Amino acid sequence: MLLRKVSSAAAVLLASTVAVLAGDCTPKVADSELIKPGVLVMSTNPTLPPLQYVDSAGELKGMRVELGTEIAKRLCLTPEYVRIEFSAMIPGLSAGRWDMINTGIFFTEERAGMMHMIPYEDQAISVSVASGNEAVKTKEDLAGLRIGVEIGGFEETKTRLLDEELKAAGKEGLVIQTFDNFALAYQALRAGQVDGVVSIDAVAKEYDARGDFRRAVSGLYPAPVAFAMKSPALADAVSEILKEMKADGSLAALFDSYGVPMPETDYSVKGPGR
């Protein structure tokens, strides 16, 4: 008897909470397009301050995290983040583990043939070296050095390209060491186990500003960074939100607060067959 009363009271409470939370906000994406109804599940590898990282309290922070949360809010969905290594991102998206990759995945034609991508940010490759190292000034100076990089990403691909370019120019190549994430690669740099770490401009700049590692080379292989989705309907909805955020100035304000330049893009979806 008592149990029934309690449970019916709980049901009323739950129903009213849901009503309050939802308000007059109707999700802009059908539940059938999502892994979890009413939730936007995003994957991120939080090892790239200031874009995506975890603070000392264990909270997810950074420009891309804020942007993803804002997109979810405007879609009337609850944002949820899965923290995972980059190497698991694309397999996980196709396996239906998350709705959207929000980890600053670089846009390439090959990738756009497999999933729906929206370029929204420009990044280029940088090389960080130990703060006392003044010897490395250009990419040619990297010949023969031990270079750490996160496995499976654009950075690794470009590091291998750099290695080939150096060899083609008759110089010594790179000794490439792949790590599970940037945190470990930078840890190896701090320990002097590698001579440099290949990362992206914004991250290398942040570490340079903190006085941790010197950004020796930057601006290599510039390329757009994108969100990636499996569902074309979700991609369209996110594209609309980004256009809306550009129009009302909130996107520029966010990028500006992190010192990231706004890219030349129309936030359109590039994917299989389009």
Partner 1 sequence: MSIWSWSGFFDYLFNPFILGGVFTTIWLTAVSLVAGLILGFVIALMRRSKLVPLRGIAWFYVWLFRGTPLLVQLIVIYTALPQLGIRFSVVEAALLGLALNEAAYLAEIIRAGIEAVPEGQSRAARALGMTEHQIMRHIVAPQAFKIIIPPLGNSVNGLLKTTSVTSVISMEELLRRTQVLIQEKFMVLELFAVATIYYLLLTTAWDFVQRRIERKFGQSTAVASPQKR
Q: Which residues lie near partner 1 (CB under 8 A)?
A: 87, 90-91, 94, 114, 148, 151-153, 156-157, 177-180, 184, 187-188, 190-193
CA 256 to CA 63: how far, in whole Å?
10
How near is the Cβ of 94 to partner 1 at its closest, in Å?
5
Name every residue whose Cβ is closer than 8 Å to that of residue 132 and which is 6 or more positions away in sequence.
none
The residue (of 126 and 178) whose beta carbon lies closer to partner 1 is 178
The residue (of 171 and 190) whose beta carbon lies closer to partner 1 is 190
- DSSP assignment of 249-263: THHHHHHHHTTPPPP
How near is the Cβ of 127 to partner 1 at its closest, in Å?
17
The residue (of 109 and 264) whose beta carbon lies closer to partner 1 is 109
CA-based torsion, 41, 102, 159, 265: positive or negative: positive
How near is the Cβ of 106 to partner 1 at its closest, in Å?
11
Compute CA distances 193 → 88, 130, 134, 138, 146, whole Å: 26, 11, 17, 21, 8
Kindly state the DSSP code that residue 85 receives in the 8-state scheme: -
How near is the Cβ of 185 to partner 1 at its closest, in Å?
9
Q: Where are the beta strands (DSSP E) in the chain?
A: 39-44, 47-48, 52-54, 60-61, 78-83, 100-106, 116-130, 146-150, 175-179, 196-200, 213-229
The residue (of 170 and 192) whose beta carbon lies closer to partner 1 is 192
Q: Are strands 175-179 and 213-229 parallel, antiparallel or unpaired?
A: unpaired
How near is the Cβ of 105 to partner 1 at its closest, in Å?
12
The residue (of 64 and 111) whose beta carbon lies closer to partner 1 is 111
Nearest to 199 by CA among 186, 190, 187, 209: 186
The residue (of 61 and 97) whose beta carbon lies closer to partner 1 is 97
The residue (of 67 and 194) whose beta carbon lies closer to partner 1 is 194
Dihedral angle, C-alpha 103, 208, 261, 226, nearest 10 °:
-20
How near is the Cβ of 178 to partner 1 at its closest, in Å?
6
